[in-house]
Chain A
Amino acid sequence: MGASRVYPQSSEPADADLLALLRAGDASAFEALVREHTPRLLAVAQRFLVNEADAQDAVQDAFVCAFRGLAGFDGQCKLGTWLHAIAVRACLMKLRTRRRRPETPIEELLPQFHADGHRVQPGPAWGESIDQVIQRQESRELVRRCIDELPDSYRTVLLLRDIEELSTDETAKLLGTNTGVVKTRLHRARQALRTLLDPYFGTPSTAGREGDAA
């Protein structure tokens, strides 16, 4: 579904065989499909929804939607890619309908400025290289937890633009908003995430060390 993400142009033979069985209503084929794709779809849903029960609901909704739409699947992409796109839409629907969770107002995570336009408390430089940081499992988990802390409407835009690699236009259409709102939310989401990561990566001696991420 992404504009810049590279997807195969045709389904693989295994997909074609499975698709034929699915369209024939083969129960074991449906079970194989669900067992193969549920782990990754659940991971996608957990990114968007954070709450485990909501994520499971969204995955179930996505599969039900996919089962209904099998007749319309044209095989121009992999089944997994098609299911992924449906799961993202199911997550966005869940976000619209669920009760808002308690979250930190984004303003508290944005840089603060003096009246003369200079930053209040500019932080230290980030010491380690990205390659060094990201090699550590605890650092990757820390980044994920910080993304989870972002308010829903900002985390959603960050995920759609930076992770799903949708364009600003595509993101705006999916969210039913305009490109200006998407651009603003993305910039704020990145700034807020930077603020959340700053205590961990702003000082070389403490970057991503075990215990900090807890």
Chain B
Amino acid sequence: MTCREFIDFLDDYVDGALPIAQRHFFDEHLAGCLDCQTYLESYKRTVRLGKLALADGDGPVPADVPESLVRAILAARRGHR
């Protein structure tokens, strides 16, 4: 197995979606490849960073919503009644 093949199927590997027979080859490659160990770790961190940066309650909720937007929404309601 090459690094390209490992990375091509990394999502299935991380998600545990690989059949056991295939997973054996991935485990074997990973055990002997420092580059892929590094890539795998940073890939998993990327997914977690994305989730944490945009998690509900922590996402950038605008403090001040433009009054023009609120007015436009309410006007649109009146227009569609």
**Residues from 41 to 87 in A contacting B, C-beta threshold 8 Å:** 42-43, 46-47, 56, 59-60, 63-64, 67-68
For the complex, what is the distance from the CA of A39 to the CA of B7, rounded to whole Å?
A: 39
Q: Mark A115-130, 1 if CB is under 8 A from B, else 0.
A: 0111100111110001
For the complex, what is the distance from the CA of A190 to the CA of B4, rounded to whole Å?
A: 16
Taking CB atoms, residues of chain A closer than 8 Å to B51 are 162-163
Please tell me the number of chain A residues within 8 Å of chain B, measured between CB atoms.
55
Q: How many whole Å from B21's CB to the nearest CB in chain A? A: 20
Query: Is A40 located at the chain interface by the 8 A CB criterion?
Result: yes
**B-side binding surface: helix, strand, loop or mixed?**
helix
Q: Does B45 lie within 8 Å of A118, measured CB to CB?
A: no
Q: Does B38 lie within 8 Å of A144, measured CB to CB?
A: no
**A-side binding surface: helix, strand, loop or mixed?**
helix
The answer to whether A122 and B11 touch (CB under 8 A), given A30-B74, A64-B80, is no
Taking CB atoms, residues of chain A closer than 8 Å to B45 are 126, 130, 201
Query: Is A151 located at the chain interface by the 8 A CB criterion?
Result: no
